A and B are shown apart, each in its own frame.
Chain A
Amino acid sequence: MNRNLTALAVRNIASRRTRSWLTILGVLIGVTAVVALISIGTGVQKAVLQQFEAIGYDVLLIVPQTGWSGAIGATAGRMGGQFDPTQLRVRPTAMSTATHIDPELLVEQVPTLTEAGNLTTQIVSVESEAAGGYLRVTSPSASFLEAFAAVLGGFTVEQGRGFADPSAREVVVGARSAERLEVSVGDELIVDRGRYTVVGILAPAPESLEDSPLETLEVAQSTGDVGDVAPLLLRGLSNTDDTLFVLEEQALSFQSGSEAFSTTVTRVETGASVTDAKASIVAALEQQGIVGTPISVEEIADSIQGTLGMVETVLASIAAVALVVGGVGLMNTMYTAVLERTREIGVLKAIGARDGQVLWLFLIDSGLMGLIGGVLGLVTGCLFSILGTRLLGPVLGVPSFAPIFTASLVLGVLFASFALGSLAGVLPAWRAARQNPVEALGSE
């Protein structure tokens, strides 16, 4: 390609400065939107994945069904290994020991499981000397806390200690709950009419873990897929700030809990097939008289990734429309330029320019404007996404995360903007190249 033609195209762009900048602005806005949305979307996906990785893809969640709802029993048989939220539609008045999975027995029954633990959530009456009301009480088994604290999205005791004696009436309070109840270590709380001693207060959950993967699942699935029960269950598995913790052994005696959701979390040994383990678990639960469907963390992660990917695609498509609008503006500018420069085209041909050179001149012209719009849009898109996540994240309650600018995004945007510019210039450039030199010279 003639470098001189490129230089000439640059001079042409510079000579009609205002119109060039307005045209470039159209592309810039489109590229900014695409870059910001994709980089933020990728950042969200990575943040979610990282949290799932912290839990481990070898972890399975089991939700017992039998005895919780007649509807569940009826549908359980056709669930197979699929995660179906309707299985979570349970409304017991209190946790039933008949549906209580024995985690130690489960590990014995399924040799490929290395550990298991239960976690139950219910809303119960809680009173301190200063305040009272119905609060969420999460009840992990001792084995759960040992092996699966990550599932809770962070369980760091900041004041006092953790649970020491399963037979003692001890409560560990989340940071925000402790503030609301105005309790400190050593105080007493009345939980479900029983007196419990506050033995520990948790550190505030890190901002990035405020909404754990499971909480994110809740958000992702609250669009209608899961129904209204899964969010409650999932909230119980996370967000330690607003929760009180009582060991499962004590919670089994609660009488006034309005809703109780129990899940068993287990881990498959390294190298073992998760699919085989799921089948073995279903059989083992049947031996315990319980129908339950194991869901792997990987399945949940895939489900969320799929949802997030779809949302990202929709948003990127909308942003792409803005980019196309920019391209149409560019084409309009180029058509105007061809009309305005008709005599110039005639002069170029009179001094020996070939049709192909005139074509290239206009293509480079439009391609360069597209590329400049792409480069500037990339910069502003990066700034927008960085500022957006920093400023709006906390305001909107979105987990703090960093946008991700992949090489494919950067190179793709630059190539796409140049290609869009060139494409927008093809027809005007072709028209310019096909100008009859005599007619072009005769134009005013």
Chain B
Amino acid sequence: MPRLLDVHKTYRLGDVLVRAVRGVSLEIPEAKLTVIMGRSGSGKSTLLHLVGCLDTPTKGSIEHRGRELGTLSSAERAAFRADEAGFVFQKFSLLPSLSAVENVGLPLLLQNTPRRVALQASEAALSEVGLSHRMRHRPSKLSGGEQQRVAIARALIGDPGMVLADEPTGNLDVATGATILDLLRGLTDRDKTVILVTHDQEIGRLADLLVELEDGRVKRSATGSEEAS
């Protein structure tokens, strides 16, 4: 499981030094849904990027399965993202020139998997998210909910241990958002560690572990049972 110890992240935005994460220490449980909440600018997305190796901490340690992620090279971080982490973004982030099945298969294609094999796996992944009838469609021909399901299928195709979702329902209506949340929640049953970033209090109720950030610090951390009580 990812283990964060006194993690800091500071970056420069123009002339301003932004301290996005300030001394976060956290253990993220495996095969559980961890929800990171907080207001805009609280550092939740930055924390997600650090855990997913999209970014490196300024200070502190992030350990995952015995590896110190902060010391990985650029190529090693890319390999980590390909093998260990699947990202789902608020804006779906599909490549507009590719069909749904090609978008889903892209992570495998980047790993030199033969195109036929990659697309077969992609079709299976799309079937799992209920989009077997929309495989050949370009993103522009899909609804928001369908695009997010394609993104989830893409996040899963490399069989990563973690799925990292950054405001995955932010651009969806309530009903569609609920479907997407069910889908993500269900991934824990497949032994996936799901980390979900949101500012929606309602989503926090689904969490096995709820982490609330404020000004880059952990304001509150509670397990699902603690929350319920």
Residues of A whose CB lies within 8 Å of any CB of B are 2-5, 7-8, 11-12, 14-15, 343-344, 346-355, 357, 436-438, 441
Contact = CB atoms under 8 A, between A and B. Distances in A.
Interface stretch (B104-112, B187-195, B197-205): B104-112
Contacts of A357: 110
Contacts of B75: 354-355
Interface of B: 46, 49, 52, 54-55, 74-75, 78-79, 81-83, 86-87, 89, 91, 93-98, 106-107, 109-113, 115, 118, 154, 158
A3 B95 CA distance: 18
Given A2-B110, A8-B109, A354-B75, A441 B55 contact: no
B93 A343 contact: yes
Given A349-B78, A353-B110, 11 more contacts: A5-B110, A7-B115, A11-B97, A15-B97, A351-B106, A352-B83, A353-B78, A355-B75, A357-B110, A437-B54, A441-B54
Across the A-B interface, the 9 shortest Cβ-Cβ residue pairs: A352-B82, A15-B97, A4-B109, A354-B78, A347-B93, A351-B107, A350-B87, A352-B81, A11-B97
A352 B107 contact: yes
A350 B112 contact: no
Nearest to B96: A15
Contacts of A11: 97-98
B110 A441 contact: no
Contacts of B74: 354-355
Contacts of B97: 11-12, 14-15
B89 A441 contact: yes
A355 B86 CA distance: 18
Contacts of B94: 347
A349 B115 contact: no
B115 A352 contact: no
A352 B110 CA distance: 7
Contacts of B49: 438
A28 B97 CA distance: 25
B142 to A, nearest CB: 16
A351 B87 contact: yes
Contacts of A441: 54, 89, 93
A74 B109 CA distance: 83
Contacts of B89: 347, 350, 441
Nearest to B164: A350
A117 B55 CA distance: 90
A437 B89 CA distance: 13
A4 B110 contact: yes
A101 B182 CA distance: 110
Nearest to B113: A4
B110 A348 contact: yes
Contacts of A346: 93
Contacts of B78: 349, 352-355
A347 B95 contact: yes
A338 to B, nearest CB: 15
A349 to B, nearest CB: 7
Contacts of A343: 91, 93
Given A438-B49, A438-B54, A441-B89, A352 B95 contact: no
B172 to A, nearest CB: 19
14 contacts: A2-B110, A2-B112, A4-B113, A343-B91, A343-B93, A347-B89, A347-B93, A350-B93, A351-B82, A351-B154, A352-B83, A353-B110, A355-B74, A441-B54
A351 B54 contact: no
B199 to A, nearest CB: 17
B81 A350 contact: yes
A359 to B, nearest CB: 12
A438 to B, nearest CB: 5
A240 B110 CA distance: 72
B104 to A, nearest CB: 10
Nearest to B46: A438
Contacts of A436: 55
B96 A4 contact: no
Contact of B110 (A14, A351, A355, A437): A351
Contacts of B98: 8, 11
Contacts of A354: 74-75, 78-79
A437 B78 CA distance: 10
Contacts of A437: 54-55
Contacts of A8: 98, 109
Contacts of A349: 54, 78, 81
A344 B110 contact: no
A4 B113 CA distance: 8
Contacts of A5: 110
Nearest to B49: A438
Contacts of B83: 352
B88 to A, nearest CB: 10
B137 to A, nearest CB: 15
Contacts of B109: 2, 4, 7-8
Nearest to B80: A352
B148 to A, nearest CB: 14
A355 B75 CA distance: 7
A103 to B, nearest CB: 79
A5 B118 CA distance: 13
Most buried by B among A8, A344, A352, A354: A352
A369 to B, nearest CB: 15
Nearest to B94: A347
Most buried by B among A5, A8, A343, A350: A350
B155 to A, nearest CB: 8
A186 B58 CA distance: 109
A436 B75 CA distance: 13
A4 B54 contact: no
A20 to B, nearest CB: 12
A345 to B, nearest CB: 11
Most buried by B among A346, A347, A351: A351
A262 B74 CA distance: 82
A4 B96 CA distance: 17
Nearest to B50: A438
Nearest to A3: B115
Contacts of A353: 78, 110
A15 B95 CA distance: 11
